[in-house]
């Protein structure tokens, strides 16, 4: 079987050195001005250890797990340093993947970082990309992500023109409600808009394939070849230190390139449970986790902004993860 790797992007915003770097580049009050700089965007509650543990348990066929970080190291890596797992989990610094593009570091935009993941040294030709708040809940097979020369996509087609009209209407209403005044802060750039932009870049002007929060199957050379042919577009994307509405999503671009080449299969049988514990009542959170435990179609879990949840809700989530995945690393 051809090797398949996993790539996880991770950051610990509570690290004083990282916080100082962020303030130096973005400004001390960046979070007050831009939603994309909110502290929760860089929060860490140890989710990455569960992410890795879930891959090791439910996708043992993954050859190597690469954790991409900015001069930081998850605590669990020290615990596995002298075990067999050390050969399967590798820390990759931003400087490695931005080699030759160091002028764009440091960066705090996930959209800039994701555009460089294909440059990880020794990366397999096929890989899964995950945020650190993604976990697997059940066993998966390589065929759930790659079939022959095709990637397996989850999601559905959207009408780009209809969404553009809705966006204009929403912006007009928002401006009216503010009495014509500029917004107090810059909103966090949306996923739909970025996916739509990425689709246009790949030759889909009228519609876009919307993908949900789940591990993304990617082909390294699909991305590398497109950026080699469009170097200025890549550099423009890297030029944003903070997530911007002007940036495209590399995953969305790759998805549409795979579709355009006839190397994509749509299969929505495996689903994602997306949790936002800080915004849910305790009873709703418990109900969602009970459903995840019982519904075999719920294979992927995304736990967003766990750092904003209270201690009780965190405990509920961690107890579920231990029951479902086993001991964290």
Q: What is the pLDDT of residue 181?
A: 63
8-state DSSP, 90: E
Beta strand 65-69 pairing with 89-93: parallel
User: Long-range contacts: 181-187, Cβ < 8 Å, 24+?
Assistant: 185/32, 185/33, 185/34, 185/35, 186/33, 186/34, 186/35, 186/36, 187/35
pLDDT band at 16 (very low <50, low <70, confident <90, very high): confident
For 126-153, write each residue's pLDDT tens digit. 999 999 999 999 999 999 999 999 999 9
Q: Is the dihedral of CA 293, 295, 301, 305 positive or negative?
A: negative
For residues 188-197, average pLDDT? 84
Rounded CA separation 183/174 (Å) = 9
Q: Is the pLDDT of residue 32 over 50?
A: no
- Which residue, 56, 22, 55, is CA-closest to 39? 22
Rounded CA separation 221/216 (Å) = 15
Beta strand 271-275 pairing with 298-303: parallel
For 78-101, write each residue's pLDDT tens digit. 999 989 999 999 999 999 999 999
Q: Tell whether omega for the bond before 194 is within 30 degrees of 0, i.e. cis.
A: no
pLDDT band at 31 (very low <50, low <70, confident <90, very high): low
Exposed e or buried b for every residue in 7-26, given b needs 16+ CB within 10 A?
bbbbbbbebeebeebbeeeb
Q: What is the pLDDT of residue 33?
A: 54
Count of positions (residues) in the chain: 329
For residues 166-174, average pLDDT? 60
Which residues does 242 contact at the CB level (< 8 Å), separation at least 6?
26, 30, 34, 36, 37, 108, 109
Q: Is the pLDDT of residue 187 over 70?
A: no
pLDDT band at 44 (very low <50, low <70, confident <90, very high): confident
Q: Is the pLDDT of residue 314 over 90?
A: yes
**Contact by Cβ (8 Å): 15, 52:** no
For 261-307, write each residue's pLDDT tens digit. 999 999 999 999 999 999 999 999 999 999 999 999 999 999 999 99
Q: What percent of the chain has pLDDT over 90?
A: 76
| Higher pLDDT, residue 162 or 114 | 114
Q: What is the pLDDT of residue 216?
A: 98
Q: What is the pLDDT of residue 316?
A: 96
Distance from CA of residue 95 to its chain's centroid?
19
| Higher pLDDT, residue 178 or 119 | 119
Count of other CB atoms within 10 angstroms of residue 55: 25
**Which residue bears the tokens 């390294």?**
220
pLDDT band at 112 (very low <50, low <70, confident <90, very high): very high
Q: Phi and psi at residue 288, in whole multiples of 5°? A: -65, -40
Q: Is the pLDDT of residue 29 over 70?
A: no
pLDDT band at 192 (very low <50, low <70, confident <90, very high): confident
The verdict on domain 4-135+151-271 having CATH code 3.90.550 is: yes
Q: Quick one: tokens of 261?
A: 């080449």
Average pLDDT across the chain, whole number: 90
| Higher pLDDT, residue 32 or 87 | 87
The enclosing H or E element of 300 equals: strand 298-303
For residues 57-75, average pLDDT? 97
């Amino acid at each position: 079987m051809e090797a398949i790797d996993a790539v996880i992007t991770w950051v610990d915003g509570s690290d004083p050195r990282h916080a100082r770097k962020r303030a130096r580049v973005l400004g001390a009050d960046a979070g007050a001005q831009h939603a994309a700089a909110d502290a929760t965007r860089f929060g860490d509650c140890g989710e990455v250890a569960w992410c890795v543990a879930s891959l090791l348990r439910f996708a043992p066929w993954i050859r190597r797990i690469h954790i991409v970080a900015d001069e930081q190291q998850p605590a669990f890596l020290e615990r596995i340093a002298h075990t067999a797992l050390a050969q399967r989990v590798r820390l990759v610094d931003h400087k490695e993947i931005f080699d030759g593009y160091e002028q764009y570091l440091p960066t705090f935009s996930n959209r800039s970082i994701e555009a460089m993941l294909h440059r990880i040294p020794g990366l397999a030709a096929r890989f899964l990309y995950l945020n650190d708040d993604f976990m697997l809940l059940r066993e998966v097979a390589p065929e759930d992500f790659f079939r022959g020369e095709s990637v397996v996509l989850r999601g559905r087609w959207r009408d780009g023109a209809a969404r553009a009209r809705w966006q204009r209407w929403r912006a007009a209403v928002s401006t009216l409600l503010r009495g014509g005044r500029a917004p107090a802060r810059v909103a966090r750039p949306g996923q739909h808009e970025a996916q739509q932009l990425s689709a246009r870049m790949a030759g889909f002007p009228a519609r876009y394939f919307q993908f949900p929060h789940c591990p993304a199957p990617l082909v390294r050379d699909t991305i590398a070849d497109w950026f080699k042919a469009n170097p200025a577009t890549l550099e423009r994307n890297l030029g944003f230190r903070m997530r911007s509405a002007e940036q495209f999503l590399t995953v969305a671009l790759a998805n549409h390139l795979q579709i355009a080449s006839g190397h994509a299969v749509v299969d929505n049988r495996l689903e994602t449970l997306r949790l936002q514990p800080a915004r849910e009542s305790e009873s709703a959170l418990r109900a969602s986790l009970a459903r995840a435990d019982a519904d075999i179609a719920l294979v992927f879990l995304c736990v967003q902004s766990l750092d904003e949840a209270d201690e009780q809700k965190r405990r509920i989530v961690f107890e579920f993860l231990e029951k479902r995945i086993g001991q964290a690393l």
